[in-house]
Structures are given as C-alpha cells and as structure tokens.
C-alpha cells in the first residue's frame, strides 16, 4: 500500500472532504468526514502534510490537526482556484488543495494561535474606533 504524503482538506459546516495523495500525486483515498470524525481520522493517519484553504476556521483546525504531528499548510483561496479541474464541489476543491500544496513554489499562510487572532480582532476594533471618530463621520452622523 502506498504511503500518503499530502492530504487536502476542504472545510465546510458539517461534512468535510479529504483527498489523500502520495508523493507522486497519485490518489490514495477520497473520504467524506463529518465534523466529529475529523480529529479521529487524523489521529489514525501517519504524520504527513495536511493542506487547507486559509479562512477563519482553518486556523482552529490547523492547530488541532497539528497536535497529532501533521505539518499543516494553509493556502490562500485565490491560489487554489486555478487547480480546480471540473465543477466546483467539495471533492474537487479537496483535490485542488492537495495538488496546490504539492507545488514547490506555492505560498502558504501561517497558522495563527488564539492569541494572534484575538490581537488582530482588537486592532480591527481600534481601527473602526478611529474611523468612527473622524471629522467626516461625525459631521454626517450629527446631521
């Protein structure tokens, strides 16, 4: 049996799609996972590269999956789109994520910790506060 080197994981609300490939890019498995099954599935997999599209939830899943010894890589969605070969669905997205992650020149996003995400949120609120107190906003709001 061939060894999985890369798993592309398409995140969703309830059902996630996993696509496993070996080092040459040959398909090892395609699997649907419910939210409760995701961590159980990755606990049984040998350490490999797990790739996901970068989004708000991917940082949480990246930290959790990384705890099992996997190397987690987040890819911006704009870099994944060119690799979708057919209609857009979860299975095609997982395959495209897996293929994009195997490219040597692909750029990745760092997995952020809880503290980092809270810090970025605080900066967003602070930026909104300064915009809301600008003279133009105050002139329009009081008119």
Residues 108 and 119 in one domain: no
**Strand ordering across the sheet containing 27-34:** 27-34, 15-21, 6-10, 49-53, 71-75
Q: Could you give the CA distance from residue 52 to residue 5 in angstroms, rounded to a whole number? A: 14
Quote the pLDDT of residue 124.
61
Cβ atoms 13, 55 nearer than 8 A: no
Whichever domain contains 94, its CATH number is 3.30.420.40
Q: pTM of the full predicted structure? A: 0.80
Are both 106 and 121 inside the same structural domain? no
DSSP code, position 100:
H
Whether residue 117 has pLDDT greater than 90: no
Asked whether 93 and 17 are in contact (CB, 8 A), the reply is: yes
Residues 63 and 105 in one domain: yes
Asked if the structure places residue 84 within a domain, the reply is yes
Distance of alpha carbon 131 from alpha carbon 74, whole angstroms: 31
Q: What's the CA gap between 120 and 39, in Å, rounded? A: 27
- The yes-or-no verdict on residue 52 having pLDDT over 90 is yes
The answer to whether residues 101 and 75 touch, using CB atoms and an 8 Å cutoff, is yes
One domain, residues 67 and 117? no
Same domain, 137 and 101: no
Dihedral angle computed from the Cα positions of residues 46, 51, 55 and 59, in that order, rounded to the nearest 10 degrees: 30
Residue 139 and residue 72 share a domain: no
Domain range for residue 138?
113-143
Q: What is the pLDDT of residues 53-95, one digit of tens each?
A: 998 889 999 999 999 999 999 999 999 998 998 888 888 999 9
1 assigned to some structural domain? no
Average predicted confidence (pLDDT) for the chain: 86
For residues 50 and 107, state if they share a domain: yes
Q: Tell me what pLDDT residue 17 has.
A: 96
Number of domains forming the structure of the chain: 2
């Amino acid at each position: 049996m061939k060894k999985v080197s890369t798993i592309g994981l398409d995140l969703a609300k309830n059902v996630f799609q996993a696509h496993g490939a070996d080092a040459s890019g040959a398909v090892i498995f395609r699997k649907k996972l419910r939210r409760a099954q995701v961590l159980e599935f990755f606990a049984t997999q040998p350490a490999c590269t797990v790739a996901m599209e970068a989004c708000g939830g991917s940082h949480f899943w990246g930290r959790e999956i990384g705890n099992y010894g996997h190397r987690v890589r987040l890819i911006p969605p704009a870099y994944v789109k060119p690799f979708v070969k057919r209609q857009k669905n979860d299975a095609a997205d997982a395959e495209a994520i897996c293929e994009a992650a195997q490219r040597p020149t692909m750029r990745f996003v760092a997995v952020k910790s809880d503290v980092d995400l809270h810090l970025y949120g605080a900066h967003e609120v602070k930026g909104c506060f300064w915009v809301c107190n600008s003279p133009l906003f105050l002139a329009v709001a009081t008119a």
